[in-house]
């Protein structure tokens, strides 16, 4: 962003917003029991978050290109409405609407944040800047998991979720301060007066480099794995097969988030020095191992898989950095939006596929995603011609 205070405010908004998002996942088994939802309805509820993100990516990208501050200010208020709808514990359509609004809010804050960071020129420190933003988001998800795990088990799930919405007050204060800060700085992040956003500049269609296509595929695989594992496999396997309560589910999910946080900034630093594609070979291979462990292993193996999963997720932003290296600035907004559509479409499909396949077939689906991750690792390890 180029402004230290603005960057700090942006990280605060991302952190506070993702605390609320992270608090939902460990409550999924409680929601299923309390609302009497079968697996397929639970998959629809969990997946509606990703569906809303997928549908909103391109419109929000266009909004962020022209009115970045407006997109950021709208995020916590949209999230608040979504959380209040969920907290009503109403029928499935009401819950799905609430979950979709939280997905829209997450798109507003993340696309807005990425737009601000990606406008910086690529070069030394670019991966570190992206991973710093991701660090704030992952810290927020971990905070939500820990918060739910520490609240009384006897509370109804909707009361727990409502209490977990407390950090939204910090997000609202943060975006209002950020809006004032941008206004005082001359709205540096908005489109210059009389100018068109770079993403809309006309020009000859630029062909996709092979490595860019592979980055799109890797982003989809990582998103599919993240959504299926964190929003369906770990919560339901932990409860049904291993007899874990809410705190135990939060513990498994928190382990992966904690490992992610510990290695996220070092991974960004290392990628700036050895290059992103070589590092992504290891990221994809570790992801494949983690998926087999989480989907097929016993409880101790699932714990190991959760840690490895967090290690692989530290490379979440690296494909976007590779795409940025091979994209002209005039097409950056459009290509980023298309990438996010693929990623968020996979976030929608992950839990939905698990719910439709059912508990007995889900391990085979997770194993197939793991095989795809190994395939991408092998392709990245081969020299490009």
Compute the distance between CA of residue 50 and CA of residue 225 in angstroms, rounded to an integer. Answer: 13
Alpha carbon of 216 to those of 145, 209, 317, 341: distances in Å?
29, 11, 12, 10
Q: How confident is the model at residue 101 (pLDDT cuts 50, 70, 90)?
A: very high
Selected residue with higher pLDDT from 328 and 305? 305
Rg over alpha carbons for the chain, rounded to the nearest Å, is: 20
| Helix (H/G/I), strand (E/B), else coil: 358 | coil
Answer whether 313's CB lies under 8 Å from 262's CB.
no
pLDDT for position 1 = 43
Residue 332 has pLDDT above 70, yes or no: no
Residue 308 has pLDDT above 90, yes or no: yes
Phi, then psi, of 253 in degrees rounded to 5: -70, -35
Percent of the chain with pLDDT strictly greater than 70: 85
Which of 62-66, 177-181, 229-233, 333-337 is predicted least confidently? 333-337
Residue 303 has pLDDT above 80, yes or no: yes
Percent of the chain with pLDDT strictly greater than 90: 25
In this structure, the chain runs to a length of 385
Residue 55 lies in a domain: yes
pLDDT for position 59 = 87
The neighbour count for residue 31, using CB atoms within 10 Å, is 21
290-299 pLDDT tens trace: 999 998 888 9
Continuous H helices in 3-156? 4-24, 28-35, 39-66, 68-87, 92-118, 126-150
pLDDT for position 79 = 94
Residue 211 has pLDDT above 50, yes or no: yes
| Helix (H/G/I), strand (E/B), else coil: 2 | coil
Domain count, the chain: 1
Selected residue with higher pLDDT from 97 and 355? 97
Compute the distance between CA of residue 219 and CA of residue 229 in angstroms, rounded to an integer. Answer: 15
Q: How confident is the model at residue 82 (pLDDT cuts 50, 70, 90)?
A: very high
Which of 256-270, 313-327, 363-377 has the highest mean predicted lDDT (pLDDT)?
Answer: 363-377
pLDDT for position 191 = 44
pLDDT for position 189 = 44
Residue 48 lies in a domain: yes
* Mean of per-residue pLDDT scores for the chain: 82
| Helix (H/G/I), strand (E/B), else coil: 94 | helix
pLDDT for position 41 = 87
Which of 23-32, 306-315, 341-350, 354-363 has the highest mean predicted lDDT (pLDDT)?
Answer: 306-315
What is the per-residue DSSP string for 115-184?
HHHHTSPSSTTHHHHHHHHHHHHHHHHHHHHHHHHHS-TTS-HHHHHHHHTTTHHHHHHHHHHHHHHHHH
Answer whether 68's CB lies under 8 Å from 333's CB.
no
Selected residue with higher pLDDT from 209 and 136? 136
pLDDT for position 206 = 58
Cα 310–42–95 angle (5° rounding)? 105
pLDDT for position 3 = 41
Residue 200 lies in a domain: no
Residue range 154-182: mean pLDDT, rounded: 86
Residue range 314-318: mean pLDDT, rounded: 84
Residue 287 lies in a domain: yes
pLDDT for position 314 = 85
Residue 37 has pLDDT above 80, yes or no: yes
pLDDT for position 377 = 93
Give the domain range for residue 79.
4-190+207-381
Answer whether 108's CB lies under 8 Å from 17's CB.
no
Residue 202 lies in a domain: no
From the number of C-beta atoms within 10 Å of its C-beta (0-12, 13-18, 19+), residue 120 rates as middle
Alpha carbon of 265 to those of 71, 128, 209, 297: distances in Å?
27, 6, 28, 29
171-194 pLDDT tens trace: 999 888 878 766 655 444 444 434
Residue range 122-137: mean pLDDT, rounded: 68
Q: How confident is the model at residue 196 (pLDDT cuts 50, 70, 90)?
A: very low
232-271 pLDDT tens trace: 888 888 888 888 887 888 888 888 878 988 888 888 788 8
Compute the distance between CA of residue 147 and CA of residue 23 in angstroms, rounded to an integer. Answer: 7
Compute the distance between CA of residue 65 and CA of residue 21 in angstroms, rounded to an integer. Answer: 25
What is the per-residue DSSP string for 197-212?
PGGG---PPPPPPHHH
Residue 15 lies in a domain: yes
Residue 63 lies in a domain: yes
Which of 118-122, 136-140, 168-172, 209-213 is predicted least confidently? 118-122
Residue range 71-91: mean pLDDT, rounded: 92
CATH (domain of 32): 1.20.1250.20
Residue 225 has pLDDT above 60, yes or no: yes
What is the per-residue DSSP string for 210-257?
HHHHHHHHHHHHHHHHHHHIIIIIHHHHHHHTT---HHHHHHHHHHHH
From the number of C-beta atoms within 10 Å of its C-beta (0-12, 13-18, 19+), residue 183 rates as exposed
pLDDT for position 182 = 61
Nearest Cα to Cα of residue 321 among 226, 205, 218, 207: 218
Compute the distance between CA of residue 153 and CA of residue 151 in angstroms, rounded to an integer. Answer: 6
């Amino acid at each position: 962003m180029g402004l230290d205070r603005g960057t700090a405010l942006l990280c605060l908004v991302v952190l506070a917003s993702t605390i609320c998002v992270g608090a939902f996942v460990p409550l999924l088994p409680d929601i299923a029991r309390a609302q009497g939802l079968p697996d397929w309805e639970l998959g629809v509820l969990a997946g509606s978050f990703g569906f809303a993100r997928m549908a909103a990516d391109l419109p929000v990208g266009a909004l962020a290109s022209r009115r970045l501050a407006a997109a950021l200010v709208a995020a916590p208020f949209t999230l608040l409405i979504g959380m209040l709808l969920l907290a009503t514990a109403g029928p499935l359509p009401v819950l799905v609407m609430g979950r979709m609004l939280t997905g829209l809010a997450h798109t507003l804050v993340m696309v807005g944040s990425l737009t601000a960071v990606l406008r910086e020129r690529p070069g030394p420190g670019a991966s570190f800047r992206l991973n710093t933003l991701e660090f704030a988001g992952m810290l927020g998800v971990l905070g939500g998991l820990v918060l739910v795990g520490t609240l009384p088990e006897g509370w109804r799930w909707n009361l727990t979720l409502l209490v977990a919405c407390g950090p939204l007050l910090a997000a609202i204060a943060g975006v209002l301060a950020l809006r004032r800060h941008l206004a005082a700085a001359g709205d540096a992040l908005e489109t210059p007066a009389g100018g068109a956003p770079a993403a809309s500049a006309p020009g000859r269609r630029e062909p996709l480099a092979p490595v860019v296509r592979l980055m799109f595929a890797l982003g989809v695989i990582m998103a599919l794995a993240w959504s299926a594992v964190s929003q369906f496999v770990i919560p339901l396997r932990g409860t049904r097969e291993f007899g874990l309560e809410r705190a135990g589910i939060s513990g498994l999910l928190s382990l992966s988030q904690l490992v992610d946080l510990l290695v996220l900034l070092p991974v960004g630093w290392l990628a700036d020095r050895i290059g992103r594609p070589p590092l992504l070979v290891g990221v994809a291979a570790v992801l494949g191992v983690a998926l087999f462990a989480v989907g097929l292993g016993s409880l101790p193996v699932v714990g190991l898989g959760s840690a490895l999963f967090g290690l692989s997720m530290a490379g979440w932003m690296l494909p976007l950095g590779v795409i940025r290296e091979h994209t002209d600035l005039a097409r950056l907004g459009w290509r980023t939006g298309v990438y996010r559509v693929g990623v968020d479409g996979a976030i929608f499909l992950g839990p939905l596929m698990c719910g439709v396949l059912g508990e007995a077939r889900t391990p085979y689906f997770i194993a197939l995603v793991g095989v795809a991750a190994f395939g991408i690792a092998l392709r990245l390890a081969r020299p490009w011609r």
